[in-house]
Amino acid sequence: MPPLKLNALRAFAAVYESGGLRPAGRALEISHSAVSRHVAELEAWLGVPLLEMAESNRRTRFTAQGEALGRAALKALNGLAQSVAQVRESHRGNSVTIATTSSLASRWLLPRLSGLRKAAPWVEVSVLVQSRVGSLAEQGAELALRMGPGPWPGEISEHLMDDTLFPVMGESAWIKAGRPHRLNDLLRLPLIHDRDPNAGWSLWRDQVGPASLDVQTGARFDSTDVVLQAAAQGIGVALARGRLAEAELASGSLVRFLGESAVILESAYWLIRREKEATSAATHTVIEWLRVQVGSNSWGPLGPRSST
């Protein structure tokens, strides 16, 4: 393990986060002079200045090296704090952490969690929103819900549910456009693109059409949430994953205007659990509940009925 000045790095990360020695001292509950000593110790150890004082207002400023180190230290310490919190949560036998994407968490999982609480009030579920796919052990989670083509090596990857992909528009934009309802109407409407290659317009064009649909133009967004919000606000036509657009379709803020035309996304969502590791009763209960939500109930409350 590399030698690190951990106390000094923690103090410097607090300076970077708060913007000064005094607020860092208040955050750490130590004097600002102690924070200053930690920073001086770190500068002497590294051999480079990290802070510089502006003559005009004595405001703390960071050198280029200080800016880079402060950003890295704060990110690392926040990540460590999150991991510690997850470990503290996971030691309780009734606690289950589910790692998943922001869109799947907010649009499918969270609206259903109240049902789990009613069915199994003794289970405590925490949701970890993941910005990237990582191993369950790395993230401190018992389960994961993932979108995309699986399986993933080193973990038990089980297909949970399929989905369908179809065009949607905001209701007012749909009315303003003359209530389009034919496939060729897509040729005259602005497209909204999800950067997820598994939910792109090229997939729709190749399977449904029209063949001349220009999939190169149109606004592009990084998340399902933003894509659907953009469609609801009238920016254009988006491809919606049916399971993630339930609320907007039910409220009428989004209109599915091409009837039953859809692309079937097979194996769209996966349930991931740890390989070669004992599974708690609480985790088995959550697995059972998840399967019930999609109508595929093959697990008993305390374990699998057949091996996977």
Of 174, 277, 285, 288, the residue nearest 231 (C-alpha): 174
Task: Say whether 92-275 and 6-88 share the same fold.
Answer: no
Q: Nearest 5°: CA angle at 276, between 266 and 268?
A: 10
User: What's the pTM value of the predicted model, to 2 decimals?
Assistant: 0.64
Domain 6-88, what architecture?
Answer: Orthogonal Bundle (1.10)
Instruction: Give the domain 92-275 fold.
Output: D-Maltodextrin-Binding Protein; domain 2 (3.40.190)
Domain-wise residue ranges, the chain: 6-88, 92-275
CA 97, CA 136: separation in Å to the nearest integer? 10
CA 11, CA 30: separation in Å to the nearest integer? 10
CA 293, CA 110: separation in Å to the nearest integer? 12
Torsion sign (Cα): 227, 230, 235, 236? positive
pLDDT tens, per residue, the chain with 308 residues: 567 788 888 888 888 888 888 888 888 888 888 888 888 898 888 888 888 865 444 567 888 888 999 888 888 888 777 666 666 555 556 788 999 988 999 999 999 999 998 989 999 898 988 777 777 877 788 899 998 877 787 888 889 999 999 999 999 999 999 999 999 999 999 999 998 878 899 999 999 999 999 999 999 998 889 999 999 999 999 999 999 999 999 999 999 999 999 999 877 899 998 876 667 888 989 999 999 988 743 333 322 322 33
Of 41, 12, 43, the residue nearest 25 (C-alpha): 12
Q: How many CA atoms lie within 13 A of 208 on its CB side?
A: 21
